[in-house]
Chains A and B, each alone.
Chain A
Amino acid sequence: MSRFVLVGGGVATAATATGLREEGFDGGIVLVAAEPHLPYERPPLSKEYLAGTVDRPSFRANPEAWYADHDVELVLGTRVDELVPAEHRVRLSDGRSLGYDALVLGTGVRARTLDGFSGERVHALRTLADSERLRGRLTAGRHLVILGGGFIGCEVAAVAAGRGVRVTVFEPEPLPLGRVLGAEFGRAVVDIHAEQGVEFRTGQVVTAMTETSSGLALTTRDGGVVECDELLVGVGSVPNAELAAAAGLEVDRGILTDEFGRTSAPDVHAIGDVAVRHHPEHGGPVRVEHHDTAVKHGRHTARVLLGHAEPFTEQHFFWSSQYDHMIQSLGRIDGEGETVIRGSVEDRSFTRFSLVDGRIAGMVALDRPRDLLATRKVMAVPHRVTADQLADDDFPLKSLLPKAGARRSEARR
């Protein structure tokens, strides 16, 4: 009987386990995770869980009983120390050696650290433990400084401000999220946070940190000193690809795979944040750190393992919630093509499209879920659209679908 070993405690490997059982696989499944927790979703760690509005069971990938009920062996709090592809074998940190017929690496990423920025008041945000530790420090009246105005920094700023914490965000770029989402979003995000009392210091860098008797003293590049109680370092991530690299797999800022998630080693697959996957629609390797993509990679790999191989061509989707605002993105927003704004930037209700050769290649929306739902369908079919049409809020996106015009036929497509 064959045995599949899944490495990693996030939604990607959990989705593979789920997919395998749903598709009728009755061989052995072993899921090895470094953290001592049941596989869980990470988006709430910087949002609802940090805010204390959801509890742990609500964002587990599967309920606890699911694993026993589906004969999935969990090996938690355990690392894979060595991978020997030639022997189809891994060695675990508890000393066990496990043979596999197929191995799925979903080892994820870790928070990038900065030399000189560590200690009792310094935080990262990647794990349940990180989120719980930071939550314990978000007390009204304290001062939290965040290095990095990316998604983690912005989301934590929103939660902290909501708890009455004074928040300062240092962002080396002229605008937070500007490089990813564009200037309109960057400005809107700064304004939204400013209204909640969060101070953005854009174009500024903290170069040094010292501990004082009551907190931290941060030195900025221009020589200023900022005192704070807690510091969050939110400066990106590092793929956990060392295991694969040591085993001789092809690695380049993540584990390289083809469009089926197969690595350079036989019967070794990589999924989720750690995977640099060839994406046919992008025409090249892509690595993203999106929850939705991790789940879809996991499900897709279950099908590949069972011989239903089809290339992975899913559009990337991600969201970020800050206060009562929602940013949602679909497809490619990597600067390719022409940029078109639909809606009102002033009213903070707008969508930014990337238009390539008359086709929507991607979009990101601020509080425009209907644009997201319509675009999702349009992007799935051949279509032609002009910049003027996209920019016109009275032009229905759904009219780009086949059999457009009749509301009824469209809904029943």
Chain B
Amino acid sequence: MGDTATQQWHAVMAADDLWEGEMEAVDVEGTSVLLVNHDGDVFAYKNRCPHQEWPLNDGDLDEKELTCANHLWVFDVTTGKGLNPANCALIGYQCRVDDDGTILVNLG
């Protein structure tokens, strides 16, 4: 893409509102984005399981492991990679927390 117009950062929520070990779905310009706080690091993914598009915020987060509620597919939230099965991955977005504690997401 490379187009600067698409390289947009969106303020989505305050980092203080996303506890460690918690996840939350937010809407970014019509796209449902899953935010995950693991040990203080925030990650952003498309809020759909790559298997059959089930919303991941329905699932269960236990340490690094996110389990989709549909068919119990498991992902590592720190890498987005599938753990079971291993031959799949979450779609990740760039994500950062700015100086005033706001989580920013770039759909890129």
Contact = CB atoms under 8 A, between A and B. Distances in A.
Nearest to B87: A62
B72 A411 contact: no
B72 A317 contact: yes
Contact of A408 (B21, B72, B85, B86): B21
Contacts of A317: 72
A412 B71 contact: no
Interface stretch (B6-14, B56-64, B93-101): B56-64
Nearest to B61: A411
Interface residues of A, number: 22
Nearest to B52: A48
Contact of B58 (A48, A62, A370, A413): A370
A191 interface: no
Interface of A is mostly: helix
A411 B22 CA distance: 7
Given A408-B21, A411-B21, A412-B21, A373 B86 contact: no
Given A22-B86, A62-B87, A295-B85, A413 B62 contact: yes
A233 B29 CA distance: 48
Contacts of A295: 84-85
B87 A66 contact: yes
Interface in B47-72: 52, 58-63, 67, 69-72
B21 A377 contact: no
Contacts of A292: 71-72
A326 interface: yes
B85 to A, nearest CB: 7
A101 B97 CA distance: 54
Contacts of B19: 408, 411
Interface string A279-295: 00000000000001001
A67 interface: no
Interface string A311-325: 000000101000000
Q: What class of interface size applies to chain B in its complex with A?
A: 20 to 34
B24 interface: no
Q: Which of A62, A372, A373, A377 has the most chain B CB within a 10 Å cutoff?
A: A373
Contacts of B62: 377, 411, 413
A377 B22 CA distance: 17
A317 B21 CA distance: 26
A369 interface: yes
Interface string A286-309: 000000100100000000000000
A396 interface: no
Nearest to B50: A58
Given A369-B69, A370-B58, A372-B69, A18 B86 contact: yes
Interface in A97-132: none
A141 B62 CA distance: 49
A63 B88 CA distance: 10
Contacts of B63: 412-413
A377 B60 contact: yes
A373 B20 contact: no
A319 B71 contact: yes
A327 to B, nearest CB: 12
Contacts of B69: 369-370, 372-373
B64 to A, nearest CB: 11
Given A369-B70, A408-B19, A412-B63, A63 B52 contact: no
A412 B20 contact: yes
A377 B67 CA distance: 11
A373 B85 contact: no
Interface in B18-35: 19-22
Interface string A132-143: 000000000000
A317 B68 CA distance: 14
Contacts of B59: 373
A190 B72 CA distance: 27
Contacts of B21: 408, 411-412
Nearest to A44: B52
Most chain A CB neighbours (cut-off 10 Å) among B22, B58, B85: B85
A369 B21 CA distance: 20
24 contacts: A18-B86, A18-B87, A22-B86, A48-B52, A292-B71, A295-B85, A317-B72, A319-B71, A326-B70, A369-B58, A369-B69, A370-B58, A373-B60, A373-B67, A376-B67, A376-B72, A377-B62, A408-B19, A408-B20, A408-B21, A411-B19, A411-B22, A411-B62, A413-B63
> 4 closest A-B pairs (Cβ-Cβ)?
A369-B69, A411-B21, A412-B21, A373-B60
Given A376-B72, A408-B22, 6 more contacts: A48-B52, A292-B72, A317-B72, A370-B69, A377-B60, A411-B61
